[in-house]
Every structure is written in structure tokens, then in C-alpha cells.
Amino acid sequence: MRVEIYHASKYGNGAEVAGEIGRLLEMRGHEVDVKHIKDVSPRALPQADLYIFGSPGRIGKPIGGMRRFLKNVSPPSGTRYAIFSTEGTPRPDRKGRMPTEEEIARWQRIQPMMDDALQAKGLEKVAAMKFHVTDLKGPLEADWQKKAEEFVGALVNW
């Protein structure tokens, strides 16, 4: 299977995740290319069986560069895709109460916005994964490699 991975890493966390996903896919015999979105034209993506897009969140949205990139990609309709995001770890409020899943979903619209852009072009979603960072610039959460393995497992089993 030919896989193209495009990430919009600002502090290196997304690049680290994209590299690990690529490495795990290559270990399973797949042909993988990992690139930062600044290094490719969204209108001239190479042919692939699966595209993976990764973005950090900024104020609950994918960063602007990724939003523009997804707006301009044009793979054939029906092409499969997967997404991942790097997001801040949920923290308790001043009273010590952790936010509910519904509250988090209202604030963090990174993946739904990426899905909207890609599904509007007729692409088919295969998998998604959130990777949490412990602070604005990282580092990634302690179990992020295990999540990468789960993500790759979901990708190769579709």
C-alpha cells in the first residue's frame, strides 16, 4: 500500500508523531512518504492508496496552514484518508473538575474541521487519533507511541 503523510508541525510534536506512524507502516511493508505541508503543493499530491493528515490545534482549530492546505488538496473522490491531531491535555478547572467529553468537543474542533474539508471533496475516512501534549510546545504525553501503534493497526485493518 502506498501512503502519503502530511503534517503541519509547529513545535516538532506532529513531526515526531508523523515519523513514528511512517516508521510503523514501513515495518509492515508499506511504502510511505512523510512530509511537512510547507514542502509540497496541495494541488500536486502524488497518487496514494491512503493519505494521512496531521495538525496541531490552535484555539480549538487546525492551524491556518493546514486549513489552507486541506482547502486546496484534490485527490480523486473516494480516496481514503486518516487524520491525527496534537492537542493540549485536558486539565481540571479552578474547582478541580475535569471537563466532560461534550465540553472538550465544543472547544476542540480540530478533527471535525479537518473531516469537513476532506469529506466535502468526496474522501472516505479510515481512522483518527488524538495525541495530547502536556504543554503548548510539548512534550507529547507519555503513552503516545502506544497510540501510534493503535492508529497504525486501525489503518492496516480497513
Higher pLDDT, 108 or 49: 49
Residue 158's pLDDT is 66
> Residue 107: which CATH number?
3.40.50.360
Between CA 121 and CA 157 the distance in angstroms is 24
Question: Could you tell me the residue range of the domain that residue 31 belongs to?
Answer: 2-156
Which of 103-130 are b and which e, b meaning 16 or more Cβ less than 10 Å from the residue's Cβ?
Answer: eeeeebbbbebbbebbeeeebeebbbbb
Residue 89's pLDDT is 76
Residue 135's pLDDT is 87
Q: What is the mean pLDDT of residues 12-34?
A: 97
What is the tally of structural domains in the chain?
Answer: 1
pTM of the model: 0.92
pLDDT at residue 67 tops 90: yes
Between CA 22 and CA 19 the distance in angstroms is 5
The residue behind cell 508523523 is 18
